[in-house]
Amino acid sequence: MSVRNLRIEFPTRRGTLVAVDDISFDISPGEILGVVGESGAGKSLTGAAIIGLLEPPGRIAQGEILLEGRRIDNLPYEQLRRIRGRQIGAIFQDPLTSLNPLYSISRQLVETIQTHLPLNDREARTRALALLDEVGIPSAGERIDHYPHQFSGGMRQRVVIALALCAEPRLIIADEPTTALDVSIQAQIISLLKGLCHEHGTAVMLVTHDMGVIAEAADRVAVMYSGRIAEIGPVQEVIRTAKHPYTHGLMGSIPLIGHHVKKLTQIDGAMPRLQEIPAGCPFNPRCEKVMDCCRVERPNLQTVQKSRVACHLFDGADGEARAGE
Ligand code: SF4
């Protein structure tokens, strides 16, 4: 999946608000890209735009979204709806938003399977059972005819993952899939998602505000701030040697076992509201390393080691000229 120069706008009476501003990234088959940031950074909107569920008046004002080389952002509603089920699966924070409380799990799975695959009732039920087994529902044969309320939160999220996998999608958008779950269950769901995606070769965009989830699940991570990508790179490199001052602050705010620090880092201030994004680098009012150029020039993403970083500290031919100062 490729996102190219995506810009999402909200026209309002007081002017146009830019919620996502010129972001580009790719996700390869079997790869999990974690997208992290504070609420309002534009991560969920990006996921919604990819899946074609951007709520009006939000609109894609610029850019392209390509799935397996085919542009999908400009397709008519009906075509996109078909692609959404067949090629793109979705997992949201609350499993109950994806499940109909009035229908048994078997009915929901069988209907979804038959919408996308040419299978008769018996074949679809067999596939539904296999999926429930695969996502770790114990005694799937007995539980398949139960209703959503008869499952625990973690089990419901497993059912939602089974639903998302019904048509063997090429891409899954998982938006805060573990936020509503107990911590012990979170780890199980993350490892399930990770295993399934690597096995099926499904690309995953994992949207979360939780760096722990990113560290556990993602292959690469994109850090978003004020609708832009601040840093994107392999997860271990971003965690161990964060380059952008915002990423650095995020990492410093996470307690680590075995690391004795008196006080965790705090990033002073708050992310600007959409109507108040400052000129230049949007992080400049909160940045400890701010320079004059940061207040006027927007930093572009540039390659530093295996990552790409949007920060003037890395301007210059060698990419790290001012970073050590
Ligand atoms: Fe800080 Fe400037 Fe880098 Fe923005 S561009 S993160 S203000 S140093």
What DSSP assignment string belongs to 67-136? ETTEE-TTS-HHHHHHHHHHTEEEE-S-HHHHS-TTS-HHHHHHHHHHHHS---HHHHHHHHHHHHHHTT
Averages of pLDDT over runs of 10 residues in the chain (325 residues) are: 97 92 96 94 95 92 95 90 87 87 96 93 96 94 96 93 91 92 86 91 94 91 97 95 93 72 79 92 96 96 95 74 47
How far apart are the CA of 43 and the centre of ligand 1, in A?
A: 20
How far apart are the CA of 281 and the centre of ligand 1, in A?
A: 6
pLDDT score of 317: 43
Best mutation site among 223, 288, 292, 294 for ligand 1 pocket (most ligand atoms within 8 Å of CB) = 294
pTM: 0.91
How far apart are the CA of 303 and the centre of ligand 1, in A?
A: 16
How far apart are the CA of 244 and the centre of ligand 1, in A?
A: 7
Strand 301-304 and strand 307-310: the pairing is antiparallel
pLDDT score of 321: 46
User: Which residue from 250, 93, 237, 99 is spatially nearest to 176, judged by alpha carbons?
Assistant: 93
Residues with CB under 6 A from ligand 1: 244-245, 281, 283-284, 287, 289-291, 294, 299, 311-313
Q: Whose CA is nearest to atom 5 of ligand 1?
A: 311
Ligand 1 atom closest to the Cα of residue 246 is: 6
- Round to whole Å and give the CA distance between 41 and 31: 22
pLDDT score of 8: 97
- Round to whole Å and give the CA distance between 71 and 247: 31
Q: Whose CA is nearest to atom 7 of ligand 1?
A: 284
pLDDT score of 325: 43
How far apart are the CA of 313 and the centre of ligand 1, in A?
A: 7
How far apart are the CA of 321 and the centre of ligand 1, in A?
A: 14
pLDDT score of 83: 86
Do 186 and 197 touch, CB atoms closer than 8 A? Answer: no
User: Which residue from 258, 178, 265, 251 is spatially nearest to 211, judged by alpha carbons?
Assistant: 251
Ligand 1 atom closest to the Cα of residue 287 is: 1
pLDDT score of 256: 67
Residue ranges of alpha helices (H) inside the chain are 43-51, 77-86, 95-98, 105-116, 121-134, 140-143, 153-165, 183-200, 211-217, 235-240, 245-252
pLDDT score of 99: 93
3-class DSSP assignment, residue 161: helix
Q: Whose CA is nearest to atom 3 of ligand 1?
A: 311
pLDDT score of 324: 45
Instruction: Give exposure, 301-322, as e/b (b: 16+ Cβ within 10 Å).
Output: beebeebbbbbbbbbeeeeeee
Domains identified in the chain and CATH numbers: 2-87+167-323 (3.40.50.300)
How far apart are the CA of 289 and the centre of ligand 1, in A?
A: 6
How far apart are the CA of 49 and the centre of ligand 1, in A?
A: 28
Do 290 and 245 touch, CB atoms closer than 8 A? Answer: no
Ligand 1 atom closest to the Cα of residue 291 is: 2
Q: Could you tell me which residues are beta bridge partners of residue 208? A: 36
